[in-house]
Amino acid sequence: MENLLIIYPELLKEGWFLYLNLVWGGLIAGSFCTMLIYRLPLIIERDYNQNPDAKTNHHHENLSLAFPSSHCPECGKGIPVYLNLPLLGYLLARGKCSKCAAKIAWYYPVTEMLCVFSALLAGWLLGASPNLLPLLLLFWALITLSIIDWRSGLLPDQLTLGIIWTGLLFNSLMPSSIPYASLPQAIIGVVAVYVFLSLMNALYYIIRRRIGIGGGDIKLFAGLAAYFGWQGLLPLLFFASISGLMFFILVVLSKVVFIKATISSKESSSSNALLSEQKWGPHIALAAIIYLLLFHLSPDLLGLFVPVNNYR
């Protein structure tokens, strides 16, 4: 055992061994993230409505993160261990429940693949360093939040606040670790996010009589500030805004195409829903990835927002 503890860190310095560990680690993380994506919104809605039956799995009134074990949402039957393997189980089951033949939701394989790809990206960016773990946790949390937000419009506090505290913790334990911030920079960033976005929200409400950005979005931005400090705020806001604007334009164009094709009212209403309820979680997550890629590949471009010497 002692020999393994000595050899393992040395093996991680080998590229192939690092990426092999990141693949299986990403698969395990993806399986856990899919559980959160399915269960967290149901638990939140049930507790919010104070009604154990409200939109929860009708086979299990006392749904929690730990109980019941993996099961089909439609028939409630347990999933065999071999079909519960990340990605492989989906392929073996051919995308359907082995008991009732109900389709397995799209986000199960997508989440698991994204967790693997994000782990490989993190490994490519940082290599086998102590800085890798916080970035993996951030990536996997962003994937989970993005899909939850896309499906239900929720950004659970359990995850957004978790990102904030994780970022502050790592920046206190590992000061001056690229690409993160020092603890003072992180704290200033979190406070700046809450103050600036809350003021913008209040101004938007005065003008439009509606909320511009949700509290969950503000907390998610604050989480990124806890990781990357105040100097990351302008580029993150810019990239998220551009991503959101491009998505809005695509939805508008698709709506025009739908109208010309004289689509059904159901399709039209779904297009209107996308326009009226922009989900910012995925755009904020994408902004974080763009920021990290630029930080790694071309930090001079980030200097357009904040002088480069402020990035450490």
pLDDT of residue 103: 92
Question: Vertex 163, ends 120 and 86: CA angle to 5°?
Answer: 40
Does residue 5 sit in the same domain as residue 82? yes
- Window from 21-25, 194-198, 248-252 with minimum mean pLDDT: 248-252
Q: What is the pLDDT of residues 206-221, one digit of tens each?
A: 888 887 788 899 999 9
Q: pLDDT band for position 309 (50/70/90)?
A: low
Do 94 and 174 belong to one domain? no
Measured distance CA(248)–CA(212) in Å, rounded: 15
Query: In this model, does residue 268 exceed pLDDT 90?
Result: no
Closest CA to 301 of 227, 245, 239: 239
Is there a single domain that holds both residue 151 and residue 281? yes
**Mean per-residue pLDDT for 129-158?**
95
Are residues 167 and 123 part of one domain?
no
Kindly report the average pLDDT of the chain as a whole number. Answer: 84
Say how far apart CA 267 and CA 254 lie, in whole Å. Answer: 11
Q: Are 311 and 299 in contact (CB under 8 A)?
A: yes
- Of 32-41, 83-92, 106-115, the one with minimum mean pLDDT is 83-92
Q: Say what the pLDDT of residue 266 is.
A: 47
Of the ranges 2-11, 138-147, 226-235, 296-305, the best mean pLDDT one:
138-147
pLDDT of the residue at 118: 97
pLDDT beyond 60 at 178: yes
Domain end point (choices 93, 128, 163): 128
Q: Are residues 293 and 145 in the same domain?
A: yes
pLDDT digits (tens, 9 = 90+) for 106-126: 999 999 999 999 999 999 999
pLDDT score at 304: 76
Sign of the dihedral defined by the CA atoms of residues 271, 216, 61, 73, in that order: positive
User: How many folded domains does the chain comprise?
Assistant: 2
Please say if the pLDDT value at position 235 is more than 90. Answer: yes
Do residue 157 and residue 277 come from a single domain? Answer: yes
Residues 176 and 223 in one domain: yes
> What pLDDT was estimated at residue 181?
87
Query: Is 35 in the same domain as 141?
Result: no
For residue 83, what pLDDT band results from cuts at 50, 70 and 90?
Answer: confident
> CA-to-CA distance for 157 and 145, rounded, in angstroms?
10
Domain identity same for 96 and 233: no
List Cβ neighbours of 43 (8 Å cut-off, separation of 6 or more): 56, 63, 64, 65
Q: Does residue 292 share a domain with residue 211?
A: yes
Least confident piece of the model among 140-144, 240-244, 283-287, 301-305: 301-305
E strands in 12-104: none
Joined tokens for residue 94: 């051919």
Q: Is residue 172 located within the same domain as residue 52? A: no
Confidence grade of residue 72 (pLDDT, cut at 50, 70, 90): confident
266 and 150 in a common domain: yes
Containing structural domain, residue 87: 1-128
Band the pLDDT of 45: cuts 50, 70, 90.
Answer: confident
Return the pLDDT at 176.
61
Question: How far apart (Å, rounded) are the C-alpha atoms in residues 284 and 244?
Answer: 9
Return the closest-CA partner of residue 76 out of 44, 47, 99: 99
pLDDT score at 212: 75
Q: Which helix (H) or strand (E) holds 259?
A: helix 233-260
Q: Say whether pLDDT at 269 is over 60.
A: no
**Residue that terminates a domain, selected from 82, 101, 128:** 128
What is the number of other CB atoms lying within 10 angstroms of the CB of residue 153?
13
Domain endpoint, select from 95, 128, 161: 128
Dump pLDDT digits (tens) for 22-35: 999 999 999 999 99
227 close to 167: Cβ distance less than 8 angstroms? yes
Q: Does residue 56 register a pLDDT over 50?
A: no
